């Protein structure tokens, strides 16, 4: 039923099954079987592609993109719609040889791209941004198709994604050095900023477009080239960006994409991260995987940026405005069905306001959260990315209930399908429960009652990660104290949504290294060179 609605909403006619040897070619309004041998074209989708039929054929790429060319791999892997389980298409399953070829292409391109003027790099990034805006509807539908994200949120991600290209197109022309006057009268000291080289970019499925442009925009603006390995669940977004980069005139080899299956992900990741031609690794994902990549980087002392796991506290003090806190909690916790790295994971509510907050939060969840297919109008909560993600939420709920927690609302799988889970609120939560010390990545909000400010800060900081944190208070002195004492890289004060292209994104402790976005983001792709100019 969900798939039928999707096809209707995309304005596409229903497609029959396709079989090995049957090729598809683009036609206005959808994809139809080609009458004969298919000429090379922008949308030769392997296998069943009905779920993507209503989209622009030019953006539906399934091969790797290396050196400015679309290249097939020896094998393919399926990409599925998490809402219905239907196959969206078969994508090139790159291996070690394809990964190394992509690195070589990026290195060859770097030798010339680094010499391109900042103004020209800026202009090309701006053209890429303009094309994203022109194609924002189709790009958003691709995100919803492969990740399940509600279409309204997908549109928001595309704008956020494009804004990174716009931002770094402007920052490209603001890479300044320094002149240092030393005690020696016949010398001058210069500090230059130069691109580090080829960057290996490994991105997650939860923001399949924005996590690419946030890294790639900065890298290209600095004069670096990139090899992108997108998440196996969501390769179509990365490949669509490659098509638009090509249309924008980004030179061959500057932006390369090598999709691969979960089976090949480990060896492909290792290949690009250990290749001597790669100078930089940028990764967004789990802390566990980040540690593995750090080991790879250590062997050749590569530069790294790591945006890893979080366990964000959301603290509500007695002085807080309850309505504001509830609105912030909804936005922070349930965006992308709880599948963001900065989602609130633990709700700490002071005793004096606890009962009022829990009651208001439950009512707001029931009123404002609507589970459904991401293409259905009114859906705010789509599917989780796969059944394993559902099992993790279910395990945390069962663990909490077995240890005394109370289910206020939700608490079980949703009847829509195996990848859906009800938005869930738990009270009477204690610190020995899994949901308080294990990142959830799902629609679960556990509430812990506390008494004092000191107790809340101690609970919030009692973890080895520190990406984001949130708190609500109307006490100015308390706001300064808590903001300074929370051990996180980003703090939301009376605000549940904190991400912005203009602001630095990143964490402390085991939540990562470096910062992305903002004026600081481009520094992650630049080396400082000191030049001593003598004989003056």
Contact status, residue 283 vs residue 293, Cβ threshold 8 Å: yes
Q: What is the 3-state secondary structure (H, E, C) of 123-147?
A: HHHHHHHHHHHHCHHHHHHHHHHHH
Nearest in space to 269 (alpha carbons), one of 232, 225, 308? 232
**What's the sign of the alpha-carbon dihedral 484, 441, 432, 320?**
positive
Contact status, residue 516 vs residue 215, Cβ threshold 8 Å: yes
3-class SS of residue 85 = coil
Per-residue tokens: 237: 């977004």
Distance CA 325, CA 317 (A): 10
Contact status, residue 24 vs residue 34, Cβ threshold 8 Å: yes
Contact status, residue 31 vs residue 44, Cβ threshold 8 Å: no
Q: Per the residue annotation, which of 98, 232, 243, 307 is the catalytic one?
A: 307
Distance CA 73, CA 68 (A): 15
Distance CA 526, CA 522 (A): 7
Write out the DSSP string of 293-323. HHHHHHHHT-EEEEE----EEEEE-TTS-HH
Q: Where are the beta strands (DSSP E) in 34-130?
A: 64-66, 69-71, 76-80, 87-92
Per-residue tokens: 332: 């922070």
422 included as an active-site residue:
no
71 by Cβ neighbours in 10 Å (0-12 / 13-18 / 19+) ranks as: middle
Contact status, residue 470 vs residue 313, Cβ threshold 8 Å: yes
Contact status, residue 385 vs residue 148, Cβ threshold 8 Å: yes
26: phi then psi, degrees, rounded to nearest 5 = -75, 145
424: phi then psi, degrees, rounded to nearest 5 = -125, 135
Task: List Cβ neighbours of 330 (8 Å cut-off, separation of 6 or more).
Answer: 361, 364, 365, 368, 369, 496
3-class SS of residue 9 = helix
Write out the DSSP string of 458-480. HHHH-SSEESEEEEE-S-HHHHH
CB 286: neighbour CB atoms within 10 A?
15
- Residues labelled as active-site residues: 307
């Amino acid at each position: 039923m969900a798939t039928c609605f999707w096809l209707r909403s995309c304005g596409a006619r229903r497609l029959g099954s396709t079989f090995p040897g049957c090729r598809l070619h683009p036609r206005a309004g959808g994809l139809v079987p080609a009458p004969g041998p298919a000429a090379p074209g922008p949308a030769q989708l392997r296998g069943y592609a009905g779920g993507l039929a209503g989209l622009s054929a030019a953006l539906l790429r399934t091969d790797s993109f290396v050196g400015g060319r679309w290249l097939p791999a020896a094998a393919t892997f399926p990409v599925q719609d998490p809402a219905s389980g239907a196959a969206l298409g078969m994508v090139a399953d790159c291996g070690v040889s394809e990964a190394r070829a992509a690195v070589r292409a990026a290195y060859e391109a770097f030798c010339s791209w680094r010499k391109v003027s900042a103004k020209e790099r800026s202009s090309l990034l701006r053209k890429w941004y303009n094309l994203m805006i022109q194609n924002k509807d189709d790009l958003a539908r691709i995100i919803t198709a492969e990740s399940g994200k509600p279409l309204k949120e997908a549109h928001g991600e595309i704008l956020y994604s494009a804004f990174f290209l716009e931002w770094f197109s402007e920052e490209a022309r603001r890479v300044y050095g320094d002149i240092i006057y030393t005690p020696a009268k016949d010398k001058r000291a210069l500090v230059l900023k130069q691109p580090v080289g080829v960057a290996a970019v490994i991105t997650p499925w939860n923001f399949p477009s924005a996590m690419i442009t946030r890294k790639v925009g900065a890298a290209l603006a600095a004069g670096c080239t990139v090899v992108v390995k997108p998440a196996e669940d969501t390769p179509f977004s990365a490949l669509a960006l490659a098509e638009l980069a090509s249309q924008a005139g980004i030179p061959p080899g500057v932006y390369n994409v090598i999709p691969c299956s979960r089976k090949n992900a480990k060896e492909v990741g290792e290949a690009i991260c250990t290749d001597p031609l790669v100078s930089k690794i940028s990764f967004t994902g789990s802390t566990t995987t980040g540690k593995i990549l750090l080991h790879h980087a250590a062997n050749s002392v590569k530069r790294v940026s790591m945006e890893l796991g979080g366990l964000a506290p959301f603290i509500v003090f007695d002085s807080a405005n309850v309505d504001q806190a509830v609105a912030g909690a909804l936005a922070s916790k349930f965006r992308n069905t709880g599948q963001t790295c900065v989602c609130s994971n633990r709700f700490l509510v002071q005793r004096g306001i606890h009962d009022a907050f829990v009651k208001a939060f439950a009512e707001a969840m029931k009123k404002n959260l609507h589970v459904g297919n991401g293409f259905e109008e009114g859906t705010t909560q789509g599917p989780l990315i796969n059944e394993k993600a559902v099992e993790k939420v279910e395990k945390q709920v069962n663990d909490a209930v077995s240890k005394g927690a109370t289910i206020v609302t939700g608490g079980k799988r949703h009847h829509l399908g195996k990848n859906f889970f009800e938005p869930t609120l738990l009270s009477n939560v204690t610190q020995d429960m899994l949901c308080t010390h294990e990142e959830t990545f799902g629609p679960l909000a556990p509430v812990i009652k506390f008494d004092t400010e000191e107790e809340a800060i101690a609970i919030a900081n009692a973890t080895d990660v520190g990406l984001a944190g949130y708190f609500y208070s109307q006490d100015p002195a308390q706001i300064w104290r808590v903001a300074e004492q929370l051990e996180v890289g980003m703090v939301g004060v009376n605000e549940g949504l904190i991400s912005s292209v203009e602001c630095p994104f990143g964490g402390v402790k085991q939540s990562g290294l470096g910062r992305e976005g903002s004026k600081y983001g481009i520094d992650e792709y630049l080396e400082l060179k000191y030049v001593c100019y003598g004989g003056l």
